[in-house]
Structure 1
């Protein structure tokens, strides 16, 4: 039986790294892509094939996928789009250029790679495209407007793609984690410092006593936080089941928020979310 192959992006840490290990242990040939060359080299030292793919760099998307297809003889069984970052800050303080930058990495690059993979999967007669969304793809939280908006956009695009692909042998799937152990908070600090002039904001005191403490102080795990490998069980079902689900929830908050989103009127849901 031919070994199945999967390309996973954002594998330097967190969900991507845990998924690369979990799928390799399950017998998959894993191409564990990272944005930085140094991270690719580290993963190669751990025995992974690790192409460099930076969603903000079109050339790296093309060359990274070409590296994968050259290695497999032109096939790819599954794609797990995962790499993303946050730009914390109140929406009124987020410059439009900051939104352009985060959409390039969290949305446009995903679409570009996905479009490049679809013809491969069409030609081979099967494939799975799995998108790592978030609970923040269907509810919002304060300070996360830039990230929220990329995930809401991803959900809309993915739902549309899933419907359009019903007449093909390609399955399109969303995974929606809640709080999962990762470096996304620490990795968001440079983007916050680059784009947000918080001291000039009318919300300066809220930044000082709220968001900045969350960003810069190590307060331990969030409530209900799960390790990154909690996603792996759902990912395996998504890529291995004969009938994968359209979406997979991970963590208690995702299940709870989905229920509240369905049952509460908007004003009451806003009240709940404003207190988180």
Structure 2
């Protein structure tokens, strides 16, 4: 039998890269995609098949899917939607075009790719679609409105897709990490600088006192932070278990957020999350 195949996005670093190596070690044929060709070339040198895939470019999505299917003879066992970026800043300072930009990558591109692989999986009678959401798709905190909005939207769309795919042989799963080691903070800086005019904001002093330090100064691992291998563990179960779960929590803050969302009234939850 040929190896099971999986397409993983956002493999240049962090969760995607760790999952690509981990799934290959388990015998999967891994297509480790990246947005930049230079990162793809690095992974190809490491022995991966690495199609270039930019969620903000529909042509690249379709070309990547075509490349994968040409290599496998028209099959794909699993898709792990993972690539995303953050755009920190107060909601009132967030231009609508900035919000459109993050949705294009974190949400619409995922939808385009997911729709491209569903017919393949439907025809073969099986498949796993795993979405890397976030604790910020369950609850939100100040300064993270744009990112949370994409993850809340993803959660709703994925829940609907899971219900609609019941009985088709396709399993749809969400992985919901909390703090996991990655480059998302550093990678968010260009987006912040492009879209947020914080010096003209009525919140300028709040930016100076909190967000700017958090964004530009590395203070070491967050409390409860885990390595990306913690996400790999959930991905393995989602892709290999006979009955995968609808949701996989990763890190203590995710479990805590899930509990607080169920138990606390909104006003009290606001106080907890607003305090950071």
Q: Which TM-score band applies after superposition, normalised by the shorter structure?
A: over 0.9
- Alpha-carbon distance between aligned partners in 1 of 2:170 and 2:218, rounded to the nearest angstrom: 42
Q: Which residue of 2 aligns with 1:252?
A: 252
SS of residue in 2 equivalent to 1:167? coil
- Alpha-carbon distance between aligned partners in 2 of 1:141 and 1:39, rounded to the nearest angstrom: 32
Q: Which residue of 2 aligns with 1:239?
A: 239
Q: Residues 229-262 of structure 1: CA distance to partner in whole angstroms, max 9, x if unpaired?
A: 1100110000000000001000000000000000
Counterparts of 1:45-194 in structure 2, within 5 Å, are: 45-194=45-194
TM-score when scaled to structure 1? 0.99
- Alpha-carbon distance between aligned partners in 1 of 2:247 and 2:10, rounded to the nearest angstrom: 20
TM-score when scaled to structure 2? 0.99
Q: Residues 198-252 of structure 1: CA distance to partner in whole angstroms, max 9, x if unpaired?
A: 0000000010111000010010000000001110011000000000000100000
- Alpha-carbon distance between aligned partners in 2 of 1:28 and 1:68, rounded to the nearest angstrom: 14
- Alpha-carbon distance between aligned partners in 1 of 2:68 and 2:167, rounded to the nearest angstrom: 26
Q: Which residue of 2 aligns with 1:31?
A: 31
Counterparts of 1:205-216 in structure 2, within 5 Å, are: 205-216=205-216
For the aligned residue pairs, the C-alpha RMSD in angstroms reads 0.5
- Alpha-carbon distance between aligned partners in 2 of 1:201 and 1:143, rounded to the nearest angstrom: 13
- Alpha-carbon distance between aligned partners in 2 of 1:43 and 1:201, rounded to the nearest angstrom: 42
Q: Which residue of 2 aligns with 1:220?
A: 220
- Alpha-carbon distance between aligned partners in 1 of 2:167 and 2:153, rounded to the nearest angstrom: 23
SS of residue in 2 equivalent to 1:143? coil
5+ long unaligned stretches in structure 1: none
5+ long unaligned stretches in structure 2: none
Q: Which residue of 2 aligns with 1:262?
A: 262
